[in-house]
Chain A
Amino acid sequence: MQHIIEMVGVSKIYPGGCVALRDINVKIEKGEFVFLVGPTGAGKSTFLKLLFREELPTRGQIFINGKNITRLKPKEVPYLRRRLGVVFQDFRLLPQKTVYENVAFAMEVIEASPREIRRRVPKVIEMVGLSHKMNSRPHELSGGEQQRAALARALVNNPDVIIADEPTGNLDPDTSWEIMKLLDEINKKGTTLIVATHAKELVDAMKKRVLQLEDGRLVRDEERGVYRCET
């Protein structure tokens, strides 16, 4: 079986000697839903940054869809990122653009045709349940709605994997739960999901695979796991 993501002996040491990840070996299969947990500074963000090539590992190899992304030329990096959808804690929507425009922007950037954009954008916005706010700007939306819009943007180019860094970090518990359910729905449609989070209750309730990082080491890899971090 082809793994969609595979890390082999990956270490990351930042200039200055700070060790963020030590000898990580992970295989993630297509269609999996994986939580990445651990205390702040354990290396979760670095883990994700390595996946979309914001950082290069100091040692080790990373494969996405069988392709070694540590060997990509800078010119090829954009095309890797088009296969990945990224979601952040702070949403990172463009404030002067409406929800529709924000989502469409992701397609304009990869030079999709206008017909394709007009066809696809409303569909995705409907998928995340934001059709009624399509023409609102980010400041007119609640946090949960903003994250839905960000999710729509991550989804619109049909990525193989969605990478979410603390997607519920700025949201209240009810809204967080809604976003998680939405992520679960997206996952059930076949997209692989990697979600870094601190939200203990959500992880416990979702019963997904859990990767736990501590001090740069992968200390636990458990199917249908729980958070169990602060012990």
Chain B
Amino acid sequence: MDDWSETKREGFTAVKLRTIRYFFKEAFVNLFRNGWMSLASIGAVASALIIFGSFLMISINFDYIAKNVESQVEITAYVEDSVDKLKINQIELGIKSIDGVKEVVFVSKEQALEEFKKQVGEELLEGIENPLPNSFRVKVETPQEVAGVAERIQKIDGIEEVKYGKGVVEKLFKITYWMRLVGLAVMAIFAAISVFIISNTIRITVFSRRREISIMKYIGATDWFVRWPFLIEGMMLGFTGSLIAIALLAAGYSYLYDMVKLNVPMIPLLHLEEFYDYSLGLLLMGTFLGAFGSGFSMRRFLRV
């Protein structure tokens, strides 16, 4: 008795492997048999994910820029050119005495020029007399205090101009919020379209094989034995679609990235590598869309 169940179990695993091979073979045959519909399905998944992916990448970048700007929210106070060294020290003490000021850094004309050269490139500024003023960079305890502190610095004698980038940050965050929302909505629409097209593709396969399916069910095939090849077909459609989407997104992004870096180098952008994790997510999403689409069209046909 024990021997019997032992051999039975061994046989079972061997059988399973072979059955899995059968499932994949069937799925591939179906895939190529209705080639045009398969292509349409792959295209639908790819476009859904490309659209979603671009919105995602743009919004993540906006987020990144916004955070960058936020972390740099500091007040720059430009000192009048006529002010001498001694007066500068007095001004520094004056700024430090304001409530809410966390840190004050003096940036001389020369330092400012060096930094600017780094950003823009040495050649551009060759032979030009330094046009930049002395300045203070002031960090505050909390972003909300920026406006008040800036106002008081402005009143200090010898300060020419005070700048801070508060409104910009808020605007950027607002933009990323809307980008996400629109991206999700558009993606939902395209996801629905891809599920629809995939389920139609699978339905054609299922329909053209309904005779075979009913024979299988009469012979005693389990529902899952019938179902797996179609699920795998759908998943392969989704998987291929998302691979295409990822490839196109990667190519498109690195092209744009180079363009931006070349023309507007001040804008901080995430490097392509930062999106590797997301591409795995897209792959899973595409595969899931495929499985969902095929599962959707299968239910009716199994009732024999």
Contacts and interface: CB of A to CB of B under 8 A. Distances in A.
A141 interface: no
Contacts of A113: 11, 14-15
B131 interface: no
Contacts of B90: none
B19 A106 contact: no
A230 interface: no
Contacts of B216: 109
A157 B22 contact: no
Interface residues of B, number: 21
B19 A82 contact: no
Given A54-B304, A81-B220, A82-B220, A94 B14 contact: no
B215 A94 contact: yes
Contacts of B16: 111
Interface in A58-108: 74-75, 78-82, 86, 92, 94, 105-106, 108
B11 to A, nearest CB: 6
Interface string B200-243: 00000000000110111111111101000000000000000000
Interface in B279-304: 304
Label chain B's interface by main secondary structure. Answer: helix
B212 A81 contact: no
Contact of B220 (A74, A79, A92): A79
A92 B15 contact: no
B219 A81 contact: yes
Contacts of A79: 220
B85 interface: no
Interface in A111-143: 111-114
A54 B202 CA distance: 25
B219 A106 contact: yes
B218 A108 contact: no
A109 B18 contact: no
A105 B225 CA distance: 13
Nearest to B226: A109
Nearest to B218: A86
Nearest to B12: A111
A52 B219 CA distance: 10
Contact of B18 (A74, A86, A94, A114): A114
B187 to A, nearest CB: 36
A81 B16 CA distance: 20
Given A108-B22, A113-B15, A157 B215 contact: no
Given A113-B11, A113-B14, A78 B212 contact: no
A109 B214 CA distance: 12
B215 A92 contact: yes
Given A94-B212, A94-B215, 6 more contacts: A78-B220, A82-B219, A86-B218, A105-B219, A109-B220, A112-B15
30 contacts: A52-B218, A54-B304, A74-B223, A75-B223, A78-B217, A78-B220, A78-B223, A79-B220, A81-B217, A81-B218, A81-B220, A82-B220, A86-B219, A92-B211, A92-B218, A106-B219, A109-B216, A109-B219, A109-B220, A109-B221, A110-B220, A111-B15, A111-B16, A111-B18, A111-B225, A112-B15, A113-B11, A153-B219, A157-B219, A157-B220
